[in-house]
Amino acid sequence: MKRKTNVFLDFGNTQFDGHLHNIVSKFRNGYKDNTIPGLAKDQLMRELTGKDPLTPESKWAVQQALMEAKQKSEKSDKTFDFFDAKGLNEFVKKSKAQEVDVIVLTASSFPNAIRAIYEIKGLTQLKDISMISVPIHSNRTVMAESKNTEIQRYEKEQKSRIKGLDTVHNIFVDDTKINIEVFQKSKNPATNIGILATRGIDLKQLNNEVDRTLTHLNTIGKPKPQSEIEPIYENVNPLKVEENQDIEEDLYGSYDVTGELKSSKHKYREEVVSTEKNNSKSASYANSEVKDMKLNLSRFTEPKNQRQREVKQGVRSPASNAQGIDRPQVAAKGPKLH
């Protein structure tokens, strides 16, 4: 199974402080043919809307539009610049390395104006970014639904294109509350996250959300590490486990060599009996060792003349009967290895 994370970013008042669509619209309305040498008004429109590729002349037109907007913005709180151009560029670079799709989703008639701004500001990671533009509408709910429809369409196309794609996580960042609400209401919150950007993108939050989805995707279907698995019988007396054995039957049942299922009850009884036998053997062996130790110690407490009498009479002391004391076992010599 394959899984994917997508990040949809609005542009105006989300990446960029101000509405680029409005800036370009005002510039276009006042533009006359060849104001910029070699660029007719109709050609400018075709390039800004994406019908034709951008030329150096149309890029210059976008830059002129920005300069005029800044000159008239003395009474405005807008900077008509990116909130964090460098941070945005680094985020997209990181996302590409993580195989996360980043898509610009904006309500604008001039998607190529956005591309021109990326190039003018040196945002190299965004020059080939995917871009989806929805129509401008006076009804904000209609625009919100249009954006949500485009997200659904992108996911559907993605699943048809990537064989075996099972789960898709979508993160949508926008400055308009209703856009986020419409998105969240129609989506499963477990795999779809809406972030309201009240003053530009919070890149730290966005990075955390992306990392969280990737961590979730990478752990689905994988067994937990041994350190995270809680021991079932950690604080249970083994002799009392049999009381709850029926509950764990499926977990601990096993098959014998004939293919017959042996329940954990039988297995447990066998283990208990085996343990008892082993304990009995261990106890006997321990008692034998104690006796041998006592015998071995006796050789150090016997009177010297007593040992001499026994040697003369041909009697071995009890201590000498201990294996390996008077006659250490020497391994037989084998042939030398050359």
Q: What is the average per-residue pLDDT within 329-333?
A: 50
Nearest to 104 by CA among 216, 32, 201: 201
Whether the pLDDT of residue 2 is over 70: the answer is yes
In a domain, 231, yes or no: no
Question: 259 and 212 in one domain?
Answer: no
pLDDT tens, residue by residue, 191-211 = 999 999 999 999 999 999 999
Tell me what the mean pLDDT of segment 163-185 comes to.
Answer: 96
8 and 62 belong to one structural domain: yes
Reduce the DSSP state of residue 13 to 3 states and report it.
Answer: coil
Residue 33: inside a domain:
yes
Is the pLDDT reported for residue 270 higher than 90?
Answer: no
CATH number for the domain including 120? 3.40.50.1000
Q: What is the mean pLDDT of residues 319-337?
A: 48
Question: What average pLDDT does this structure show over 301-317?
Answer: 50
Domain membership of residue 335 (yes or no) is no
Are residue 138 and residue 283 in the same domain, yes or no? Answer: no
Indicate if the alpha-carbon torsion angle 304, 308, 311, 315 is positive or negative: negative
Instruction: Give the residue, 141 or 276, on which the prediction is more confident.
Output: 141
pLDDT in the model for residue 287: 53
* CB 80, CB 11: distance < 8 Å: no
In the chain, beta strands by DSSP E:
2-9, 101-107, 130-134, 165-174, 192-196, 254-255, 261-262
For residues 54 and 171, membership in a common domain is answered with: yes
pLDDT of residue 19: 94
Together in a domain, 182 and 259: no
Beta-strand relationship, 261-262 and 165-174: unpaired
Instruction: Please give the model's pTM, rounded to 2 decimal places.
Output: 0.65
Q: Are residues 185 and 275 in the same domain?
A: no
Q: What is the CA radius of gyration of the chain?
A: 41
- Does residue 327 form part of some domain? no
112 and 250 fall within a common domain: no
Question: 210 and 290: one domain?
Answer: no
Q: What's the domain count of the chain?
A: 2
* DSSP annotation of 16: B
Least confidently predicted of 84-93, 151-160, 163-172, 299-308: 299-308
Amino acid at 248: E
pLDDT for res 72: 84
Overall average pLDDT of the 258-270 stretch: 45
Residue 149 has pLDDT above 80, yes or no: yes
pLDDT band of 279, cuts 50, 70, 90 = low
Looking at the structure, tell me whether residues 282 and 243 fall in a common domain. yes
Q: Is 277 contained in some domain?
A: yes
Of the candidates 164, 185, 219, which is a domain's last residue? 219
For residue 301, the model assigns a pLDDT of 47
Running DSSP on this structure, what letter comes out for residue 199? T
Q: Determine, yes or no, domain membership for 69.
A: yes
Tell me what pLDDT residue 131 has.
97
What's the pLDDT score for residue 306?
54
The long-range contacts involving 268-273, CB below 8 angstroms and separated by at least 24 positions, are 268/241, 268/242, 269/242, 272/238, 272/239
Task: Average the pLDDT over 59-71 and give the result.
Answer: 94
> How many whole angstroms separate alpha carbon 175 and alpha carbon 180?
8
Could you tell me if 184 and 104 lie in one domain? yes
CA dist 133 → 63, 106, 112 (Å): 21, 5, 10
Domain that holds residue 303: 238-321
Residues 198 and 257 in one domain: no
Cα dihedral sign, 220-221-222-224: positive
Residue 228 included in any domain: no
pLDDT range class, residue 49, cuts 50, 70, 90? very high
Average pLDDT, the chain: 78
Kindly tell me if the per-residue pLDDT of 332 is higher than 80. no
Pick from 33-47, 122-136, 304-318: least confident: 304-318
Residue 329 counted as domain residue: no
- What is the pLDDT, as a whole number, of residue 237? 42
C-alpha to C-alpha distance for 179 and 111, rounded to whole angstroms: 19
Domain end point (choices 171, 190, 219): 219
pLDDT digits (tens, 9 = 90+) for 211-261: 999 997 665 444 445 444 444 334 434 444 334 434 333 333 444 444 444
My answer on whether 150 and 243 are in the same domain is no
Q: At what angle do helices 20-30 and 111-120 cross, to 10 degrees?
A: 100
Extract the tokens encoding 287: 């008692």
